[in-house]
Amino acid sequence: MRVVIADDSTLFREGLAMLLASSGVEVVAQYAEADQLVRALPQTRPDAVILDIRMPPTFTDEGLVAAELIRGQHRGIAVLMLSTYAETPYALRLLGDGSGGLGYLLKDRVDDVGALQDALRRVIEGRLVLDEEIVAGLLAHRRHSDELARLTPRERSVLGHMAEGRSNQGIGSRLHLAPKTVENHIAGVFNKLGMPASTDDNRRVLAVLTWLRAAGTGPGDVLAPAGRAAPAASGGQATGTSPFG
Amino acid sequence: MPHPRLPGRLSACAARHRSLCLAVSGSVTAALSVACQWRSFGPSPFAASVNVAVALAFVLTAAMLNGEETLGSVTGALALGGLLWPLSWTAGWETGPSALLSTFAYSHFWVCIGWGVLRYPTGQLRTNGERALLAAAVLVVPLANLGLIGISRPAWFGYREDANLWWYGEPIGLGTFHLIVDVLDVLTVVLSVLFLVVVRNRLRQYSELDRRIFQPVAIALLVAFLIAATINSVAYNPSGPSIGPEFTAVSLTLLTIPLAFAAAVLRRMFVRARIAQQLATLPNPPTVGVVQSALRSVLNDDSAEILLWLPEEEHHVDATGTPRQPPGPRAAEVITELRTSTGSPLAMIIVAPAMRRNRDLVTAAVQTCVLALENARLHATVAAQLVAVSSSRARLVEAGLHERRRLERDLHDGAQQRLLALATRLGLARTKATDPDTISAIDAAREDLRHALADLRSLARGIHPAQLSQGGLRPALETVTTTLPLDVTLDVTQERFSAVLEAGAYYTICEALTNTVKHAGASRAVVTVRRRGQVVRVVVADDGKGGAMTVDGGGLAGLTDRVRALGGALEITSPSGGGTRLAADIPCEPPAVTSPVWGGAAVAAPRVRHVVPLDEGGVDPCV
């Protein structure tokens, strides 16, 4: 695997490069700014880029802008965002187009080189990868408590892994379940939550995310573009109007 | 050329003893008029009586108006005219110098009146055109008349052939004489028309106030001139004891001139009364702008300005609150310095130079303003202090926000990245480790580090969520409400506002939600953020037990302060058992610094400080 890294924190960037190198990932180049990384892509030709989000010059969303640019112009290059914060709106902004080869993880995950390698491998394979903290936050939200209560604990963890972007096989190996059992659980989840079943893994991620986010947001807030991931039924939750009168 | 103005000292003396002056001048004029016309009372009693009335009216009006500042330059002309008019009728004597005296007096009477009008109100002729007009009038009317005597016979002037008159010169041919007379008649009419044009132009240049006062006089004079010039082409000048009806018409017209002057004086009295009335009915508390427009209206001077002295800031400001330097001592404008009842400087009132002649009216007006202005300044001072307080509060809010963002940035760039670098090293160590004890030690360290990172993250988010600056209220609120143990419905606009407003609204909502979680026992909450014109309305409502009370130093009091610092207002509705609803209206603009005291104009804060050296010698201390 050939990767390039852009992160303005030298300390973290070099630690990450060292860690990746030690586990057999070839770090082709490192940059302190996203612009330099994008400009050098025709020369570096990596399998994946690893991007921070807050970088010079404005320290706001340079990484996201660069990611969108790379996904527009270099379809073959996978993008893995490594950020200090796990912000759901950022994740949805990136994942919204439904095409794979994209990941969004907390920088904290670098303490587990296996997980990092796994995420890199999955994005290079064209899958979507979402940090467990974002998924946990969405699952923890009170507005879904009634519907989620209908799921078994096993089904709930399957839902979480689906949201993180794992395949049936990945879920099976994480939960030590046979593929057939995983399929049954997934069918149960889709059935109980009224989500349309999808065989495409990436579409499935978006469908789950959309369902998790659907309720409680303002009117007119379409999280997934129409025609791609069909937004799951919002479960009859009131949206945008005061429930108190 | 006779000087149509009484010498200054005589005029001043006459003004001091007005009654005596009236009695003496009235008797003398009456006696003179009767003496001049003693032969005319027989053949034309009515015309002669009217002439006595004209002379009396002129002289008495002059005596009455003597001392009226604005009419000073015409009173002299009136007085002299009142003496020249009866002398014109000495023609009736038909003996000795009477014809010469009559011609001299009659022709000079008109020039004298014309000159008096042209000199109004400055006491000077203004342009060379005016001087030329006057010179031409002197040439055409008195000099030409006196010259005509030298080339004619008394009979050609209308005198009896046998009259024993002083006469001079050698007569020329009668035909030539009539031709010259006709030419002079035409010239006289032309001069009258030119005079009319000049006076009309002068009226335009007068200040509005002068124009209002002097218009009736000007009209009466012009009518008299035109009638006299027309009659002049029919009958030349008085030439016997019998006074023709054409002269009676002129006399009756002349009578309107003193009447017009009386009207002018009345008008001034009206103006004075209007000043008192308008300035007495100002709204309370008055604004400087209102006082100024009242002053402009009563003085008919749109350039009139009030510069208020602000003792704290040590400079003058105009009616809009903008610092202004008063005009220097050499300025043409009439400057009046006003002082408060305690004698400290209050304001400068500046009116157009043309108002100098109406100084008494200006003084009356500005003195009526003192109380209103003192009142207005008091309000202005309080409003300015309010502006200063709210702008310093706004600066504090902004400084606080700035500090929070700096702290968050420092955390992000410093401690967080350092700990994350440490995470990479632990990850590396974990791959290298083979000894089970080392591995478990590393795993424990990793676990601790994850907790530390999570703690630091929530600390940084609490200080200032990066999401707020980046995406605005909506994403920041979505993130922060995800983890709350109650169902929060967000109806938040995607619109972006100023960083201060967004941060203020964000912390207000977070604090309100924290209160809800802690005290309300609610299961659901609704957060609404919507823009309504220039105001952002933030509502946080829950379905909890209600009964929230604002206690000094409590959470709700803190919220109220937070919203007020943004120039907004917070309303809390919390009936027992009926949930709690907080509604904050926050203006989109930073705390507005408009003050009604300046007549609605915005006051820039902080104001530029101008120290104006007060040159007391340059202003007229009128008060």
Tens digit of each residue's pLDDT (9 = 90 or more) over A12-64: 999 999 999 999 999 999 999 999 999 999 999 999 999 999 999 988 889 99
Q: Domain for residue A68, yes or no?
A: yes
Is the distance from CB of B366 to CB of B350 less than 8 angstroms? no
Average pLDDT over residues B95-112: 86
Hey, is the C-beta of B215 within 8 angstroms of any chain A C-beta? Answer: no
Q: Do A176 and A120 sit in the same domain of this protein?
A: no
Indicate if the pLDDT at residue A4 is higher than 90.
Answer: yes
C-alpha distances in Å from residue B409, one per residue of B291, B412, B417, B435, B466:
54, 5, 11, 39, 9
**What local confidence, expressed as pLDDT, does residue A223 receive?**
33
Q: Do A157 and A60 sit in the same domain of this protein?
A: no
Average pLDDT over residues B76-90: 88
Q: Do A106 and A145 sit in the same domain of this protein?
A: no
Q: For residue B156, what are its two tokens?
A: 């050609």
Q: Distance between CA atoms of B538 and B554, rounded to whole angstroms?
A: 20
**What local confidence, expressed as pLDDT, does residue B200 receive?**
80
**Interchain contact, A216 vs B543, CB within 8 Å:** no
Range with the poorest average pLDDT among A205-214, A224-233, B34-43, B126-135: A224-233
Indicate if the pLDDT at residue B1 is higher than 60.
Answer: no
Q: Do A39 and A86 sit in the same domain of this protein?
A: yes
Q: Domain for residue A225, yes or no?
A: no
| Dihedral (Cα; B107, B111, B114, B120), 10-degree rounding | -140
**Interchain contact, A107 vs B461, CB within 8 Å:** no
**Interchain contact, B543 vs A244, CB within 8 Å:** yes
**Percent of chain A clearing pLDDT 70 (strictly above):** 85
Q: Domain for residue A226, yes or no?
A: no
Indicate if the pLDDT at residue B407 is higher than 90.
Answer: yes
**What local confidence, expressed as pLDDT, does residue B120 receive?**
66
Indicate if the pLDDT at residue B77 is higher than 80.
Answer: yes
Q: Domain for residue A238, yes or no?
A: no
Q: What is the mean pLDDT of chain A?
A: 83
Indicate if the pLDDT at residue A234 is higher than 60.
Answer: no
**Interchain contact, A108 vs B423, CB within 8 Å:** yes
Residue B404: name the closest of B301, B507, B257, B543 by CA.
B507
Q: In angstroms, what separates the C-alpha of B433 from chain A's closest C-alpha?
A: 13
User: Given A130, A148, A178, which residue is the final one in a domain?
Assistant: A130
Hey, is the C-beta of B579 within 8 angstroms of any chain A C-beta? Answer: yes
Place of tokens 């209103």: B372
Average pLDDT over residues A113-119: 93
Hey, is the C-beta of B469 within 8 angstroms of any chain A C-beta? Answer: yes
**What local confidence, expressed as pLDDT, does residue A130 receive?**
92
Q: Is the peptide bond before B326 cis (omega within 30 degrees of 0)?
A: no
Q: Do A54 and A39 sit in the same domain of this protein?
A: yes
- Chain B segment 13-32 residues within 8 A of A by beta carbon are none
Q: Do A183 and A139 sit in the same domain of this protein?
A: yes
**What local confidence, expressed as pLDDT, does residue A239 receive?**
35
**What local confidence, expressed as pLDDT, does residue A124 receive?**
95
Q: Do A39 and A91 sit in the same domain of this protein?
A: yes
Considering only alpha carbons, which residue of chain A is nearest residue B419?
A: A12
Indicate if the pLDDT at residue B131 is higher than 50.
Answer: yes
Range with the poorest average pLDDT among B37-46, B76-85, B298-307, B602-611: B602-611
- Chain B segment 410-439 residues within 8 A of A by beta carbon are 412-413, 416-418, 420-428, 430-432
Q: What is the mean pLDDT of chain B?
A: 82
Q: Distance between CA atoms of B486 and B69, rounded to whole angstroms?
A: 85
Q: For residue B446, what are its two tokens?
A: 């990793």
Range with the poorest average pLDDT among B42-51, B470-479, B566-575, B597-606: B597-606
Name the CA radius of gyration of chain B, rounded. Answer: 45
**Percent of chain B clearing pLDDT 90 (strictly above):** 22
Hey, is the C-beta of B537 within 8 angstroms of any chain A C-beta? Answer: no
Residue A60: which CATH number? 3.40.50.2300
**Interchain contact, B431 vs A113, CB within 8 Å:** yes
Average pLDDT over residues B213-224: 76
- pLDDT for B233-256, tens place per residue? 776 677 777 888 888 888 888 888
**Predicted model pTM:** 0.56
Average pLDDT over residues B543-551: 86
Per DSSP, B604 falls in state P
Q: Name the pLDDT band for A219 (thresholds 50, 70, 90).
A: very low
Indicate if the pLDDT at residue B529 is higher than 80.
Answer: yes
Q: Which of A136-140, B276-280, B437-441 has the highest mean pLDDT?
A: B437-441
Q: Domain for residue A245, yes or no?
A: no
The larger pLDDT score, comparing residue B201 to residue B400, is at B400
Q: Do A70 and A39 sit in the same domain of this protein?
A: yes
**What local confidence, expressed as pLDDT, does residue B427 receive?**
94
**What local confidence, expressed as pLDDT, does residue B439 receive?**
95
Q: Name the pLDDT band for B508 (thresholds 50, 70, 90).
A: very high
Indicate if the pLDDT at residue B502 is higher than 90.
Answer: yes
Q: Which of A18, A87, A239 sits opposite B428 (nearest CB)?
A: A18
Q: In angstroms, what separates the C-alpha of B498 from chain A's closest C-alpha?
A: 17
C-alpha distances in Å from residue B108, one per residue of B80, B105, B143, B165, B446:
10, 5, 9, 20, 121
Range with the poorest average pLDDT among B76-80, B216-220, B434-438: B216-220
**What local confidence, expressed as pLDDT, does residue A15 receive?**
95
Contacts of B574 in chain A (CB under 8 A): none
Residue A83: name the closest of A56, A65, A108 by CA.
A108
**Interchain contact, B457 vs A60, CB within 8 Å:** no
Q: Do A203 and A141 sit in the same domain of this protein?
A: yes
**What local confidence, expressed as pLDDT, does residue B590 receive?**
56
Number of structural domains found in chain A:
2
User: Which of helix, strand or coil describes residue B58?
Assistant: helix
Q: Distance between CA atoms of B450 and B395, rounded to whole angstroms?
A: 38
Instruction: Report the top-level CATH class of B499-589.
Output: alpha beta
Indicate if the pLDDT at residue B267 is higher than 60.
Answer: yes
Tell me the H-state helices in B412-472.
Answer: 417-432, 436-463, 466-471
Q: Do A54 and A122 sit in the same domain of this protein?
A: yes
Hey, is the C-beta of A61 within 8 angstroms of any chain B C-beta? Answer: yes
Q: Distance between CA atoms of A211 and A231, rounded to whole angstroms?
A: 7
**What local confidence, expressed as pLDDT, does residue B121 receive?**
60
Indicate if the pLDDT at residue B611 is higher than 50.
Answer: no
Indicate if the pLDDT at residue B205 is higher than 80.
Answer: no
**Interchain contact, B487 vs A108, CB within 8 Å:** no
Indicate if the pLDDT at residue B478 is higher than 50.
Answer: yes
Average pLDDT over residues B129-150: 84
Domain of A154 in residue numbering reads as: 135-214
Q: Do A15 and A122 sit in the same domain of this protein?
A: yes
Q: Do A29 and A126 sit in the same domain of this protein?
A: yes
Residue A171: which CATH number? 1.10.10.10
Is the distance from CB of B374 to CB of B341 less than 8 angstroms? yes
Contacts of B492 in chain A (CB under 8 A): 218
Q: Domain for residue A232, yes or no?
A: no
